Chain A
């Protein structure tokens, strides 16, 4: 018995929701970055599922590129967190409001 592909999508949806909630409730910039990774992974799962459903490789290729972007995003994001911490000694996103007028 094979699993209906819809289940995978539901699973992807729940993963995405958890990630989104993580971004919203946490104040630690690092954890927010991790939550973003969760959301990206949820999207990847959806892509692979679609790839399987439509019997095409495009979805998997897309996942490959998303991973590239995620790696780049993690690198830059973490560099920003490090720079931020060195300057303001905090990674609480609520304290990062100097752009507010």
Chain B
């Protein structure tokens, strides 16, 4: 569709990818020699431009009629082998558009924030290189038009996540956290790649459009293949999106710089699993069993992570568990068939969780690197802007109307109730209560009450520079009003995303016109109920951390065992260590000490020794006298002539 410039902005989609990549290349190759501010500008400008193009693409897409909102741009045939072809192409549809807007928009703000946060760091250019590379990979992930290209982006974000978690690699904990994230993700990626292979075997193509259009021909509802494909895909999603049982890497990933936590481990990368499930909703719909698994895992994770979050003292770790919990919500929504709601929550979550992470980064920055909430308190006066924005973020995540989190979370609970059952709703509702509680615990411990800071730290507390505060304010605005996109009455996001899940059949249909199916009464009573739940959580937190600060210790003393289990995160890390990690290490030691050193090396060394012995003997022929060699040559020549004489 031509516009004022004569051609469609959709054609510019390649630049959305190209710009961050160019930024990464320039910063990566010349960053060391460039001025640090130039490095920062390059990093931000590329993402900013990519965001502008994304907006233009979005506008152009809006001008199309809903059924035609699918634009594919194919660049070249990437792999062609027999019947297998993978085309390097991009796909613009409502879902990927929402994702690129979130990735570039939130990404841009976080880049700007990083300029201030990372100021004076030695590896400044390295940081921006990784960050740009991450943005590129993430955009590739969401824009790819086939599974294989998506997998490249998928691995790319994994790599960048590893690099950025271990960004301060001289710190042992950071580098091992990076490794942990990488290895745990491998498990999920293994599932994903198996799913891709299975899809190719079943559909004979990996192209999204072709796969989804031919799904009814190749798969029957509830068939084993459909279940296998979707469960393997979901295994990939649990790895990337930190769900049970592969969530353990995310809390450790907080070793990375805080903006990285905000961008990768809250707003974008960890939601890639949700994106992938939503993208493949057509496949998931074919397998009710898989959907149930998704919902159960999602709900369980939401609750599980929330309980751990109750007792953590590290400000970033609380947020990490909250992220795990919120992504659990998204999967819960997916599992009951509310794919659009999941994307809606993904978007609002990106806003308020990025805001919370950046806010906590601002606090950490102000306190000179202190992350323990027990050594904070009373920061409200000293960091007024940070406090205000953080409060908005906390209200949003707790689900207080009219902030963003309220609408999306309420919708998830509604979906869980109407399409799922009471158990799913109960899981979600209880997790919501806990969320409200631990988030306000975080807020109260950090900003309210008496200061528990060290004296010399307290003296240096200062509000962050402007380039860190502006992203906070923008994100706070988005967190405040972002929810209205999904207002049941208007439901802009529902109708926008409907074509993406519409192809799937019945559930998509229900989703698109959901407002009509649910009675107004139920809707409003649900809203009231979830608001009530949130208020109860907040009140509890207020009671325990403002009114009677001695209460938490008393309660912890009463439920010693539970408290200890929660504080140690259910000992999951220890269980994994005992059941998987240590046996692996031990068997590796066995393989190393016996198989490798003794058998393989022994064989290789034995061969070498044999050659050496023979050479010792043969060496005697090498007298070092040229004339001896010449004699041998002559002898050989004569022999050849004699042979020729007799043979010819």
Classify A-B as touching or not with yes or no (CB < 8 A).
yes
Residues in chain A within 8 A of chain B (CB atoms): 20, 23-25, 27, 93-94, 96-97, 99-101
Write the chain A residue with the least CB distance to B623.
Answer: A100
Question: Chain A's nearest CB lies how many Å from the CB of B166?
Answer: 48
Q: Which residues of B contact A101 (CB under 8 A)?
A: 619, 622
- CB contact between A94 and one of B619, B627, B631 (< 8 Å): that residue: B627
Chain A residue at smallest Cβ distance from B622: A100
Q: Please determine whether B630 and A23 come into contact, CB atoms closer than 8 angstroms.
A: yes
For the complex of A and B, the 3 pairs showing the least CB-CB separation, nearest first, are A100-B624, A97-B624, A93-B626
Q: Which of B349-391 contact A (CB under 8 A)?
A: none
Residues of B within 8 A of A27 (CB): 627
Kindly identify, within residues 605 to 648 of chain B, every residue whose CB is under 8 Å from any CB belonging to chain A. Answer: 619, 622-627, 630-631, 634
A20 / chain B contacts, CB cutoff of 8 Å: 634
Which of A24, A96, A100 is in CB contact (< 8 Å) with B631?
A24
A23 CA / B627 CA spacing, docked (Å): 7
CB-CB nearest in chain B for A27:
B627
- In addition to A23-B630, A24-B634, A101-B622, 13 A-B residue pairs with Cβ atoms within 8 Å of each other are A20-B634, A23-B627, A24-B627, A24-B631, A25-B627, A27-B627, A93-B625, A93-B627, A94-B625, A94-B626, A96-B626, A100-B623, A100-B624
Question: CB-nearest residue of chain A relative to B638?
Answer: A20
A97 to B460, CA, bound (A): 77
CB distance from A12 to the nearest CB of B (A): 14
C-alpha gap A99/B623 in the complex (Å): 10
CB of B598, distance to nearest CB on chain A (Å) = 32
Q: Quick one: closest B residue to A29, CB to CB?
A: B626
Complex: chain A residue closest to B626, CB-CB: A93
The residues in B between 460 and 475 inclusive whose CB is less than 8 angstroms from any CB of A are none
How close is B618's CB to chain A, nearest CB, in angstroms? 12
For A94, the chain B residues whose CB sits under 8 A away are 625-627
Closest to A20 in B: B634
**Smallest CB–CB gap between A94 and chain B, Å?**
6
Bound-state Cα–Cα, A27 to B623, Å? 15
Interchain CA distance A100-B619 in the complex, whole Å: 9
User: 1/0 per residue B223-236: CB within 8 Å of A?
Assistant: 00000000000000
B634 and chain A: residue at smallest CB distance? A20
Residues on A with beta carbons closer than 8 Å to the beta carbon of B622: 100-101
When C-beta atoms are compared, the residue in chain B nearest to A96 turns out to be B626
Which parts of B496-545 form the interface with A (CB within 8 Å)?
none
14 contacts between A and B (CB under 8 A): A20-B634, A24-B627, A24-B631, A24-B634, A27-B627, A93-B625, A93-B626, A93-B627, A96-B626, A97-B624, A99-B624, A100-B623, A100-B624, A101-B622
